[in-house]
Amino acid sequence: MHTLRRRLRYGFRLAGLLLLTGLPLTAPATAAAAASFTDTAMREALANARDQRFERIDDDAIAGHVLGGYIDYHRLKRALPDAPSSRVNRFIQANDDSPLAGWMRGQAISAYGEAGRFDALLAVADGPPQRISRQCHYQTALLERDTQTAQEAGKALWLAGRSRPDACDPLFNRLRRENVIDADAIWQRAMLAWQAGNAGLMDYLLDMLGERWQTAVTRAKATRQDLSALGRAPDCLGPRCRAGDGFYQAAMQRLTRKDTREAFLVWQELASRITITSRARANIREELAFYALVRETPGTLGWVDDVLPTLDSQRVRELRVRRALASRAWRDARDWIEQMPAAEQEDSRWQYWLARADEQQGNDAAAHQHYEAATQERDFYGFAAADRLGRPYSLHRRDDEPNTASRASIAALPEVKRAEALIRIDEPGLATSEWLQSVRRASPRRARAMADYAAHKAGNGHAGWTARLIQTTIAAGMWDALDWRFPEAYTDAFQRFGQQHDVDPYLLMAIARRESAYNPEARSSAGALGLMQLMPGTADDVSRSLGLEAPGRYGVLDPDLNIRLGSAYFGDILARYGGNRLAATAAYNAGPRRVDRWLKEHDADAFDLFVEQIPFRETRRYVQAVLTYRVIYQRLARDERQPGKATADPIALLTDAEENARYNRELLSEDRD
């Protein structure tokens, strides 16, 4: 009777509200309004469930709602660890198509592990979890069922240079009692802690070791305090020389990063006399070679060239080629590229540089062949190679026709219904989780249908769907679906503010695409906000320069304002470098002061050499991506205006001025006459 009265009361309240709003009490209107009211009830219920205020939830008001599993999730989470594993598994099975299943499994593993309910833990686990604390709980539970596997996994968890969660203590304590974690493992971890700069953990671990290790312990602590003492270290360290690998790798790493020149000299003296394994020796050489190249340490290049063929190190090979390019040693650049594995050489970047090297050495036929290979890729070097040959860019664009027939079936999927409902109750993050899990599990055909659905929603102005569309193409690996990967959004604002601040609007679009993937709510770990990822301080400064009030942390998330401020800021940077978009784009990512310093310290007589001389890998990739994205956006916009046009592509990666510029201090506006 109580339940019936509540349902009647809710129905009368609904009818009364309909009458007040003037809506007719027809079935369609009543259904639509009822959905709205149940969404309101669900929003309130979810807020109460998160706060563990279940007594405030009106179960009748949300009965049958598509998001009911979210309330069940919080109820079951509160019932852990007392809830039986069978109940958890029923929930997981009932919500198998939702992220809720994985989240609940993780919560149960944590709760059962903390409570020592290991049989229940194994009953809900589907293999080793991702989170470290849960891995430790899982391996502790597994010790009784698969001892060897759990011991090996537990020891691997132990060998880390950082502190592990408290959840790992029972596992580690047991493995120590069973001597799986023995003195060697304690020493190894202490050396890893040294490498990580974690002196407290290093000392804690060293103090665990017995008398047989005291000579090694004393040596390690003394060397940490004075790295110059490394050259006086003994040939053999620890019982049966077992401490040597960890000690010399850790000490050499610390010295290499502190003073690469001194590390090189010390290694020249140590290398021939110390007792360490070939693997440890190779690790030391690789680290030393890397920093010697990064820091251009005098007197080390010959040694690097001698050891590099013995190292399986992509990062050192890349640095060696970049060093050769910086000094215009074209033959050396070619030789080092040709020593890369064949699959590595096939990358458009290295095909482009092989062509440039051949060109410089007068081997035009070979250069043409390598340029031709590079043009097959849709990236910065592929486009640069196409410009060299006067060819149109290879976009490898896949055209997908709108599929109106599939949209109804996609909309009917339970996970899509949940995503739509979550959007309605202002839970866009949860909605995206639901959506992307469905995409990742989908067949290629269904994933394309989902992308079409997202494109349709975005095209009709539904908030958040442009970013969701881009994320869909990434999750499903639809790299050739350019219209979906680079959708039109905020075009009017980019055009308007680009013209206002004399900035190419397609370049602004490319920056936003790289910075935020067109997510207006994007927040970086560094605090950058919005489509163009503006730092709050930068946004305030630019606002004042435009005569606007400071937008505050959340005001800058407004897409129109974010684009306006980002366009103005980039316009100022562009003027700093005389309109050179390569330098300005690098400065947008790394900061103008760094780019000023790079231009003052280096002198590149070609745009491609400037890009390779950018010391930050992230910034090099950023510049290449943004310039490539700009071409794609401009090409898609032109094709939209002139469909089916089959002429040579007039769109250029760079302007003539950018191609022919000298990238040095003369590029700075204050250094120009």
Alpha-carbon distance of 67 to 44, in angstroms, equals 12
For residue 19, count CB atoms less than 10 angstroms from its CB and return exposed for 0-12, middle for 13-18, buried for 19 or more.
exposed
Q: Tokens 């074209």 belong to which residue?
A: 330
515 carries an active-site annotation = yes
Cα dihedral 105→109→111→114 (10° resolution): -170
Q: DSSP letter for 529, please.
A: B
Are 393 and 378 spatial neighbours (Cβ–Cβ below 8 Å)? yes
Q: Is 663 helix (H, G, I), strand (E, B) or coil?
A: strand
Count the Cβ atoms, other than its own, within 10 Å of residue 167. 18
Tokens describing residue 278: 């070939």
Tokens describing residue 433: 């989780």
- Cα 666 to Cα 264, 575, 577: the distances in Å are 36, 14, 9
Alpha-carbon distance of 190 to 206, in angstroms, equals 6
- Cα 145 to Cα 124, 137, 141, 503: the distances in Å are 15, 14, 8, 65
Long-range contacts of 311-315 (CB under 8 A, 24+ apart): 311/282, 311/285, 311/286, 313/286, 313/289, 314/340, 314/344, 315/290
Are 213 and 269 spatial neighbours (Cβ–Cβ below 8 Å)? no
Largest Cα separation within the chain, whole Å, is 94
Q: By C-alpha distance, which of 572, 585, 596, 665 is closest to 628? A: 585
Stated as kind and residue range, the H or E segment containing 382 is helix 380-389
Are 57 and 45 spatial neighbours (Cβ–Cβ below 8 Å)? yes
Alpha-carbon distance of 223 to 216, in angstroms, equals 10
Q: By C-alpha distance, which of 213, 246, 247, 214 is closest to 233? A: 247
Q: Describe the crossing of helices 559-576 and 491-500 by its angle, rounded to 10 degrees.
A: 40
Across the strands, what pairs with 663? 604
For residue 444, count CB atoms less than 10 angstroms from its CB and return exposed for 0-12, middle for 13-18, buried for 19 or more.
exposed
Candidate list 318, 515, 612, 658, residue with the active-site label:
515
Across the strands, what pairs with 523? 529
Whether residue 81 is preceded by a cis peptide bond, meaning omega within 30 degrees of 0, is yes
Q: DSSP letter for 558, please.
A: S
Q: Which residues are catalytic?
A: 515
